[in-house]
Amino acid sequence: MHISLTAELESRVKAKVDSGLYNNASEVIREALRFMDTHEEWVKEVRLASLRKQLKVGVEQLDHGEGIVIESKEALDSLFEEIKG
């Protein structure tokens, strides 16, 4: 496999190897990809937590009678359009 990096990224990879933390550029790239995978999982968890919080607020509002009745597909479509902005 061959990859192309900008001069800045190539310099950063070289600096990591030169620091002695990594034996070669491949190790730097592998570590970066592992970090990216971990970051993506963290982002998913943060989003799920936010959705759960919003869902809890919505359920509490419904429990307090603060919901609205949607009586047709058109009314539901209109509500979704309003939410989208």
Query: What does each of the 85 residues of the chain score in pLDDT, given as a tens digit?
Result: 889 999 999 999 999 999 999 999 999 999 999 999 999 999 999 999 999 999 999 999 999 999 888 999 999 999 999 999 8
| Model pLDDT, residue 85 | 81
The contacts of residue 79 (CB under 8 Å, 6+ apart) are 70
Listed residue (65, 76, 13, 73) closest to 21, CA to CA:
13
| Model pLDDT, residue 1 | 84
DSSP category for residue 19: T
